[in-house]
Structure 1
Amino acid sequence: MKKKIFLFLGGILPWVLAGCDASNTSTNSMTMASLPLVQNTIASLAPVFGGSRNDIIMEQVCALAQGQKTQEQFEQFFTNKGIALQKLAEQDAGFALLADNSLVKKQVACMAHLTSAAFLQTVKATDDKATLTPQLSQKLQVMVTNAEFFSLISERIEQAPATTIVRHKQEIIRQATAMAPLYFAIMAKNAPHNLQYTVTQLQGNRLAFSSSNGYFFALQNNIATLQLLNINWYGEGELLGKRHFIQVQQPLS
């Protein structure tokens, strides 16, 4: 099923909440929280097909990326569906990814696709417990994984000297590409087991719930936050309870 989505992962405003760093005025740079830039850059790597997100296709990409399917099995899936990847690749960047034999590109695509899952409101008030629990488990697992993975990337880019937003983005993509397989390992480590969930809000594009191991997840207008025992685990510019910063040369472009 194809659905158009528009992700606003934290927005632009938090980039400048830190304001200008007086110690850097001589170099015409400013200090900004790294989280919005990291999450928006990685989100931009998630592929779309015909302009829309397609979870069914990405299940196949992720199966190949994580070693659950071979390249031959991957290609056979589309052959069986009568989908000519090479022909579609000429018209669409998403299908060009599918036709490309690069495993690294598919690992990055899967990683970026998975990171966005927590930011989509797929839960409905009419869902019964059997349907609801797996969805809440998935959102919690993705958000905890995002927090750890984005923290690793942030720790690396905050050590870089002042440079442009464009170059920071390039470094984020380089780091995310190199560490994409690690994302899957972190996600497996954070698989929820026997957790209980309490939904405190579920209406329209709003979702909030707590888990029996101390997490509190909130989602509104595709902006998600996660707290662990009242500590910002993801959101408000913080990751794992810590705010990471980058030095950005002006102008911001």
Structure 2
Amino acid sequence: MNIEKNILAIPALPIIQSTVVASAPTFGGGRHDGHMNILCALVRGDKTPEEVANYLKDNVIDTSNDKSFSLFVGERRPEQDAACAAYIASTVLITPNFAEFLEPTSDKSDDNKDGKQEFAINQERLNASLTTKLAVALANVDIFSLIARILPEKLTVEAYRTEIARLFGLLAPVYMERVQAYFHNGLTFNLLQMQNNQFTFTSSNGYVFNFDINGLSLKLGGINWYGRGQLMGQDHLLNVDYFTPKVAELLK
């Protein structure tokens, strides 16, 4: 039996996930939700190119020497779809922003000895946030599973990243349609934990969403729908051209 000695089987999920996160635009080296909300509004047709141009003007943004801001100029095109889709997909793959649904409270509890500002959950915002997070996570499962299934064999890690970025860009319009399809108003949620290193909730349609130091995991009926290297309860492994030809030569 001839074994290719430079090939290793590696889970597809972390490579797909990290590639998509890295594809989301950054501004000055960091994420910027405000800018990306404007770009995604342009992609959805909620804002016109003229309105986006006014946003750039009002914020004194020069697009000429900035690759990310150049996406804001002109009519809708595939690279804008890809950037918006990557940003949306990445929102459930990074530490949650609890400010989405917390608001300052004027009441101070008896336990608040140091006078720090206290916050309370705004239930309406919480429901909107969790509905969105679940929809995004489920769209990630669908598109990431498809990409994992159709990736070619025996590429290098970097070649896989290039191919994943290409496929995700092609599928960006479908991805955003899936997010909308999974966005169900009227779901109810049970927030189980909300700390700096763990965020867990269940939904009335049977999902358990958890984000902790290991990243996102999503379960349905006890099955790993996303996470622990699995997608839809299945392992997706890539036979990766991991070592240089020198390794194969050494092991002859």
TM-score by length of 1: 0.81
SS in 1 for 2:120: coil
Distance 1:139 1:24, change over 3 A: farther
Contact 2:216-2:227 within 8 A present in 1 as well: yes
Matched to 1:144, the amino acid is L
Aligned to 1:18: none
The CA deviation at 1:101 is 5.8
Aligned-partner Cα distance in 1 for 2:235–2:212: 22
Question: What secondary structure sits across from 2:200 in the alignment?
Answer: strand
Task: List per-residue Cα deviations over 1:64-111 (Å, max 9, x = no partner).
Answer: 1223333223222222x142433xx42x43223334766211111101
State the partner residue of 1:120. 95
- 1:124-174 Cα offsets, whole Å, 9 max, x none, are 5732322322111111111111111111111111xx121211111111111
Counterpart of 1:53 in 2: which secondary structure?
A: coil
122, 125, 140: which one aligns with 2:134 = 140
Q: Give runs of aligned pairs for residues 83-232 of structure 1, distance below 5 A.
A: 83-86=60-63, 89-90=64-65, 92-99=66-73, 103-118=77-92, 119-123=94-98, 126-157=120-151, 160-221=152-213, 223-232=215-224
> Measured at CA, do residues 240 and 136 of structure 1 come closer, stay the same or move farther in structure 2, by a change above 3 Å?
same
Of 20, 34, 43 in structure 2, the residue corresponding to residue 42 of structure 1 is 20
The match for 1:59 is 37
TM-score (norm. length: structure 2): 0.82
Identity %: 31
- CA distance in structure 1 between the partners assigned to 2:204 and 2:29 by the alignment: 38
Q: Would you say the 8 A contact 2:52–2:72 is kept in 1?
A: no
Unaligned stretches of 5+ residues in structure 1: 1-22
- Tell me how far 1:51 sits from its aligned partner: 1.6
The alignment partner of 1:126 has SS state of: strand
Larger radius of gyration: 2
Partners of 1:132 and 1:212 in 2: how far apart?
Answer: 15
Does the CA contact (< 8 Å) of 1:85 and 1:98 recur in 2? no
Q: Counterparts in 2 of 1:231-246, with a 5 A limit? A: 231-246=223-238
Amino acid at match of 2:227: G
Partner of 1:33: 11
Paired AA for residue 155 in structure 1: R
Please, what is the CA RMSD of the aligned residues? Answer: 2.1
Query: In 2 relative to 1, CA 147–73 (structure 1 residues): closer, same or farther, beyond 3 Å?
Result: same
Deviations 1:16-64, CA, capped at 9 Å, x for gaps: xxxxxxx773352111110000010011111111122111111111111
